[in-house]
Amino acid sequence: MAKKRKKKRSHHTILSPKKYIMSKARKLPFFECWINNNWQELGIATVLVARLQPSGKVIVAGYLVDIYCLGVKDALTRFSMSVDEFREFVFSFCERMGAEAEECTPAFAQNLVYGAVEYAEDLGFKPHKDYDFTRYILDPADEIEYIDIEFGKNGKPFLVRGPFDDFERNIAILNRTVGEGNYHFMTHIGDMEDGVFE
């Protein structure tokens, strides 16, 4: 009776999307980076950073960034999107802001994200819980060419009340970190307290 041959074990391991992003994303070339074209006027930036996989598909990190005060309010990743899917995603992402998508450099996109997080943390605000994972799609902060971007509004933090924000808590944090009178806030679009919105 012939002996059964043992099957050779494959050494090729298929990584989960999470492990793939954590171990390989930073080694991939950048594909495209996009931002809403009214981010300075609005104080809110939707930032998309995509890297190209060997398969021709893309990995994406997306951020909702409050440049005036709160930093990264939301963060997400998308894995193995086709280029067409990515393009649709870019324009729908920015359309929600009532804006057109504008291509930007990887250095600018990453400076805006990292800078907003640093600014907000100095004020006492932590980034969205998914931010730590999405950073694996970005270069390490100390390896990026520095670009000077202004955060805050007219030299002070400017807190705008969002529909899902704990506004009273955020005011209390600002009172503790910068003190009353050292920031502006707006409870509704068009209304501003503690100063004139210029």
Q: Return the pLDDT at 198.
A: 29
Confidence of residue 93 (pLDDT cuts 50, 70, 90): confident
Confidence of residue 196 (pLDDT cuts 50, 70, 90): very low
Token code pair at residue 134: 């999405």
pLDDT at 14 over 80: no
Strands 101-104 and 158-160, bridge-based pairing: unpaired
Give domain limits for the chain: 28-145, 153-198
Confidence of residue 122 (pLDDT cuts 50, 70, 90): very high
| Percent of the chain predicted with pLDDT > 90 | 78
pLDDT at 9 over 90: no
What are residue 184's phi and psi, to 5 degrees?
-115, 160
Pick 162 or 158 by higher pLDDT.
158
pLDDT at 164 over 90: no
Q: Which pLDDT tens digit goes with each residue over 41-70?
A: 999 999 999 999 999 999 999 999 999 999
Contact assessment for residue 40 and residue 112, using Cβ atoms and an 8 Å cutoff = no
Q: State mean pLDDT over 2-15.
A: 57
Distance CA 175, CA 104 (A): 35
Beta bridge partners of 59: 51
* Helices 167-177 and 106-123, packing angle to 10 deg: 80
Contact assessment for residue 34 and residue 48, using Cβ atoms and an 8 Å cutoff = yes
Among 17, 23, 133, CA closest to 74: 133
Contact assessment for residue 120 and residue 92, using Cβ atoms and an 8 Å cutoff = no
Q: Return the pLDDT at 192.
A: 39
Pick 93 or 18 by higher pLDDT.
18
Among the listed ranges 1-10, 106-115, 165-174, which one has the minimum average pLDDT value? 1-10
Beta bridge partners of 29: none
